[in-house]
Amino acid sequence: MECRTVLEHSQALKEREYSSVELTQALLEKSRSCAGLNAFITLTEEQALEQASHADKLIAKGEGGPLTGIPLVHKDLFCTKGVRTTCGSRILDNFISPYDATLVERLEQAGMVMLGKTNMDEFAMGSSTENSYYGPTRNPWGHERVPGGSSGGSAAAVAARLAPAATGTDTGGSIRQPAALCGLSGIKPSYGRVSRYGMVAFASSLDQGGVMALTSEDCAYVLQAMSGFDKKDSTSIDQPVPDYVNALSDSISGKVIGLPKEFFTDGVDEEVAQAIRESISMLEGLGARTIDIDLPNSAAGIPCYYVLAPAEASSNLARFDGVRYGHRASEYTDITEMYEATRSEGFGPEVKRRLLIGAYVLSIGYFEAYYVKAQKLRRLIADDFSKAFEKCDVIVGPTAPTTAFPIGLKTDDPVQMYLNDVFTNSANLAGLPAMSIPAGFDGQGLPIGMHLIGKYLDEATILNVAHHYQLNTDWHRRIPEGYA
Ligand code: GLN
């Protein structure tokens, strides 16, 4: 039963094939036996069993909705009341949140059962989950390989069938890249669609919470439950949330798929490119039409993102100073030394690198040259998308240039690591919804992800196209060896 989708579990719970408590126990047991993946920072067994038994009571009374009693895991940067929230960092190693993030609260209200908190790159800075204070997460498709990042613990957990769904956050690709590298479906909604309240901030103008699961259909159900206006987040959008689930069955005949030549370049691994080309032909076979489009400022995406994200991070992370919560150094003589020692001990090397870059690009003399320039580029990148979407409904390409790479391969070369985001971070810069779905395997049996970018607030169309692709393929059904 562990390997089923959210919807299959939902059906089984309704038909009393097994209870939520039984399912929860089985998944916790499997999670303990797969501890070597290092997918979890914290397992919340007691709380999970309480939530599951509450869900079983609702189900017995014929109450609850499609997600009642369904287990999931949360990326460890969503605040969870009474449960440790570390953000993969030593500086928050002992932090127990006094409140729940809105997303956590909404999924609990929908009846979902939290199994635990997953491993991640420290403060979501990374593309491989190697930047965690708690050590790297392994990819279930190849234990010597990274699961992608920064939501790599969430992705590894779902890929290993330790949970049917997981939350993640995506600032420049952190839901879509791990989904691609672990063979999952993952969606980053439009900026503002899902509340950021209680989500530890990395780069506030780019961060978005979302979901990873086995299918687009499952993503639609979970996204539905987490979306919508929240008065506690001033950047959340006060717009009705469309019925994502209903929209899945719409025909994709006549839908126009834009293919930017900038996404089909030499930098893409040939096996990845081939799988994406075949997938596009399949979508054409289902009635979609393709056109060539231009995203002329794409090449500016990486430099633009790697100025703006660190700038925002340097401001957001100023709050971790050892005064109110989190780690505090034990040896210091005055308050300045306390700050210095706390932050030196509490942050890992990648976070420190970002804080230095961020402070630099915001400093007098460099602000105009870097920060303001990057903001202008961000506008151009967003305008490119607006123009492209006058002609198409969805933009398709590869999610990542390669499949999962070996642990350690890029840790000494931050720029190589940043280049993994080449196709993903422009959607964040423009605030657009985007998703990755499984689209094949390479010769080594590693999953390949296809990237779909939608119009602003139009999650429904990418979920719909992805769903039709999945009705006609079975990549998303494959299970890594040893995890069935
Ligand atoms: N890889 C990007 C970074 O390191 C994106 C991370 C993310 O989306 N959280 O910043």
Q: Which of 19, 128, 174, 236 is catalytic?
A: 174
Best residue for ligand 1 mutational test, from 77, 87, 120, 121 (most atoms within 8 Å of Cβ) = 121
Q: What number does the ligand 1 atom closest to the CA of 305 have?
A: 10
For the Cβ of 119 lying below 6 angstroms from any atom of ligand 1, the answer is no
Separation of 51 CA from ligand 1 center, angstroms?
A: 32
Q: Which of 89, 128, 132, 150 is catalytic?
A: 150
Cβ neighbors of 382 (< 8 A, separation 6 or more) are 429, 430, 431
Residue corresponding to tokens 């287990």: 71
For the Cβ of 417 lying below 6 angstroms from any atom of ligand 1, the answer is no
Helix (H, G, I), strand (E, B) or coil at 188: strand
How far from chain centre, in Å, is Cα 116? 16
Among protein residues, the one with the nearest Cα to ligand 1's atom 4 is: 126
CATH superfamily of 6-254: Amidase signature (AS) domain (3.90.1300.10)
Band (pLDDT 50/70/90 cuts) for residue 266 is confident
Among protein residues, the one with the nearest Cα to ligand 1's atom 10 is: 125
H helical segments located in 334-408: 335-346, 349-361, 373-388
In the predicted structure, residue 210 carries a pLDDT above the cut 90: yes
- Is 315 one of the catalytic residues? no
Q: How far apart are CA 274 and CA 400, in angstroms?
A: 13
For the Cβ of 126 lying below 6 angstroms from any atom of ligand 1, the answer is yes
The per-residue pLDDT of the chain, averaged, comes to 97
Band (pLDDT 50/70/90 cuts) for residue 110 is very high
Residue corresponding to tokens 């506008």: 379
- Is 386 one of the catalytic residues? no
Q: Is the pTM of this model over 0.75?
A: yes
- Is 75 one of the catalytic residues? yes
At 215, the amino acid letter reads T
Long-range interactions of 343-346: CB distance < 8 A, separation 24+: 343/91, 345/90, 346/89, 346/90, 346/91, 346/320, 346/322
Per-residue pLDDT tens digits for 113-135 = 999 999 999 999 999 999 999 99
**Strand ranges, E, within 204-283:** 208-213, 256-260
Strand 40-43 versus strand 113-118 pairing type: antiparallel
Cβ neighbors of 138 (< 8 A, separation 6 or more) are 36, 37, 38, 144, 145, 147, 156, 407
Q: How far apart are CA 356 and CA 352, in angstroms?
A: 6
CB-based contact 164:217 (threshold 8 Å): no
Separation of 465 CA from ligand 1 center, angstroms?
A: 26
For the Cβ of 124 lying below 6 angstroms from any atom of ligand 1, the answer is yes
Q: What number does the ligand 1 atom closest to the CA of 127 have?
A: 1
Q: Where are the domains of the chain?
A: 6-254, 299-377
In the predicted structure, residue 265 carries a pLDDT above the cut 90: no
Separation of 128 CA from ligand 1 center, angstroms?
A: 9
Mean pLDDT of 323-336: 96
Per-residue pLDDT tens digits for 392-442 = 999 999 999 999 999 999 999 999 999 999 999 999 999 999 999 999 999
Separation of 400 CA from ligand 1 center, angstroms?
A: 13
DSSP for 231-283, please give it. Answer: TT-TTS--SPPP-HHHHTTS--TTPEEEEEGGGSSTTS-HHHHHHHHHHHHHH
Q: How far apart are CA 73 and CA 93, in angstroms?
A: 19
Per-residue pLDDT tens digits for 299-323 = 999 999 999 999 999 999 999 999 9
Q: Which of 10, 20, 31, 75 is catalytic?
A: 75
Nearest CA among 426, 457, 475 for reference residue 304: 426
